[in-house]
Structure 1
Amino acid sequence: MKYLPNLITLLNVLFGSIAAVFAVLNRLEWAAVFFMLGVLCDFADGLVARKLGVQSELGIQLDSLADMITSGLVPGLVMCQLLAMSVNAGWNADSFFAEALAQGGWWGAWFPFAGLLITLSSAVRLARFNIDENQVNSFIGLPTPANALWILSLPLILMYNGSEFTNSLILNPWFLSGLTLLSAYLLNAPIELFALKFDNYSFRDNSLKYIFIVLSLVMVLTLQFLAIPLIVLFYVLTSLFSKKAS
């Protein structure tokens, strides 16, 4: 039983690796599916380790490496694909990485790789998290799974939940460039964000978390995939205002 948490973490590595392959193949909806499976494993491995009392240094390091794939590499690859689509109008190639260089010119061929800035910033964020002993009941900077979630929601909005306005916005290269820079900043920003961890389940001690969860569920039910980037923004703003109020 003591190896169960690490096995779950390895499932996170597996699902994240599959998501990365789908992202390279421009099958972004499947990349999102396997990303979510990886995130579920990321949540479950720590929970199982605490329940069994088998937390270990190996498990901590393995968890961070798994996050680097699932929540670091995958969103960077997805952003590369989105940037490629935004600068190659009407282009419907199966894979940006196989076809981009044939498009000719720096803008169409190399600019989309700017999406990997998200991967680089995720690596820095995870390394800082590993050596920071204060990020237990809160986070400094946006956690990599939350950051990855809003990046991977963009192609899902395009496919299932978009409008003419949202689709044109998401496929605007300047909007995506700004989003990439914002993502890189938020991952390592010196801002404290609350963690959705419960020492007890009383409403008085966890009112902010309960309100956040309920409002997030309402947004998902009403806005579907469009709710995801709004929830991440709501999470950041709620954390900032709660700290100012206290």
Structure 2
Amino acid sequence: MTIKKHIPNIITLLNLFCGCIALVFAFNQDFEMAFYFVCLGIFLDFFDGFFARLFKVSSPLGLQLDSLADMVTSGVVPGLVMSQMMIDNSSTAAVDHLQIFPYLGFLIALGSCYRLANFNIDTRQTDSFIGLPTPANALFILSLPLVLKYTDSLFVIEILTNQWVLLLITVLSAYILNAEIPLFSLKIKKFNFKDNALQIVFLICSLLLLIFLQYLGIPLVILFYVLLSVINNKMLKK
């Protein structure tokens, strides 16, 4: 029982470890490795809660550790990546003189911190989410430099190398993390199409986007998730 008690917290700390490594790669502008370590951290983040429920060892300590680890992996890392992108893509003299401009990328970290703290005390988010979860937001942000690296589209390159667009993405990212927008749960509780049609359609469309568009498919999947949730919310109100 003693060993089982510590397994979820060990997994959580491994998530934090992955986030720290991702920070190093992000500082060195190796965004691809940073992305992979964040993905590994998010994978571990799922399993710490899974094992806590499996072993029935959920605790207030585990809850706090989980948020602190997520703050690094899914908060500080995407903030740093966005800041680095802003530094790399200074395209106008006016922006060059705004020395604080690239640091505005860390608004993502601030938005993530507020969301994680609020999530711990919000009893409405047990089965679904209100606002975009930090892991999804992190994947969205960390996919952007990879889209830029591997795309041949001049339009996409022009968009993702414009600092004002990057600032807009940053502000929207911090907002959507804490917006009062209910997002449907991806949990499948009953094994039939009728009760899970929304989740199944989303998963199939997401898989197709990732297969055909690769890295570009990642931000599109996140945007599709938010858009589909908004449409679903309006339909439920009717």
Is the shorter-chain TM-score for this pair beyond 0.5, marking a shared fold?
yes
1:162 to partner: Cα distance: 4.2
1:12 — aligned with what?
A: 15
Which of these residues, 32, 36, 56, is aligned with residue 35 of structure 2?
Answer: 32
Does residue 133 (structure 1) correspond to residue 123 (structure 2)? The answer is: yes
User: What pairs up with 1:117-128 in 2 under 5 angstroms?
Assistant: 117-128=107-118
1:84 to partner: Cα distance: 0.6
Percent identical pairs in the alignment equals 52
Q: Provide the C-alpha distance between the structure 2 equivalents of 1:130 and 1:155, rounded to a whole number of angstroms.
A: 31
Q: Provide the C-alpha distance between the structure 1 equivalents of 2:173 and 2:118, rounded to a whole number of angstroms.
A: 16
1:202 to partner: Cα distance: 2.6
Which of these residues, 160, 171, 188, is aligned with residue 161 of structure 2?
Answer: 171
1:186 — aligned with what?
A: 176
Does residue 208 (structure 1) correspond to residue 211 (structure 2)? The answer is: no
User: What pairs up with 1:61-210 in 2 under 5 angstroms?
Assistant: 61-87=64-90, 107=97, 109-210=99-200
Q: 1:45 to 1:23 in 2, by over 3 A?
A: same
Structure 2 counterpart of 1:230, one-letter code: L
1:161 to partner: Cα distance: 3.2
Mapped contact 2:188–2:196 kept (Cα < 8 A)? yes
Q: Provide the C-alpha distance between the structure 2 equivalents of 1:69 and 1:195, rounded to a whole number of angstroms.
A: 24
Structure 2 counterpart of 1:41, one-letter code: L
1:99 — aligned with what?
A: none
Q: Provide the C-alpha distance between the structure 2 equivalents of 1:214 and 1:150, rounded to a whole number of angstroms.
A: 19
Deviation >6 Å, runs of 4+: none
1:110 to partner: Cα distance: 2.3
> What is the aligned-residue RMSD (CA, Å)?
1.7
Mapped contact 1:5–1:46 kept (Cα < 8 A)? yes
2:59 — aligned with what?
A: 56
Mapped contact 2:151–2:157 kept (Cα < 8 A)? no
1:197 to partner: Cα distance: 2.1
Mapped contact 1:87–1:108 kept (Cα < 8 A)? no
1:88 to partner: Cα distance: 5.7
Q: Provide the C-alpha distance between the structure 1 equivalents of 2:189 and 2:55, rounded to a whole number of angstroms.
A: 17
Q: Provide the C-alpha distance between the structure 2 equivalents of 1:86 and 1:106, rounded to a whole number of angstroms.
A: 10
TM-score scaled by structure 1? 0.90
SS of the residue 1:199 aligns to = coil
Structure 2 counterpart of 1:166, one-letter code: V
String of CA shifts for 1:89-131, please: whole Å, max 9, x gaps: 8xxxxxxxxxxxxx9x863632100100000011011111011
Q: Provide the C-alpha distance between the structure 1 equivalents of 2:60 and 2:190, rounded to a whole number of angstroms.
A: 26
When structure 1 is superposed on structure 2, of 155-164 and 118-127 the one drifting more is 155-164
SS of the residue 1:136 aligns to = coil
TM-score scaled by structure 2? 0.93
1:241 — aligned with what?
A: 231
SS of the residue 1:109 aligns to = coil
2:47 — aligned with what?
A: 44
Q: Which runs of 5+ in 1 are unaligned?
A: 90-102
String of CA shifts for 1:33-86, please: whole Å, max 9, x gaps: 111110100111111211222211111111111110000000000000111111
Structure 2 counterpart of 1:211, one-letter code: V
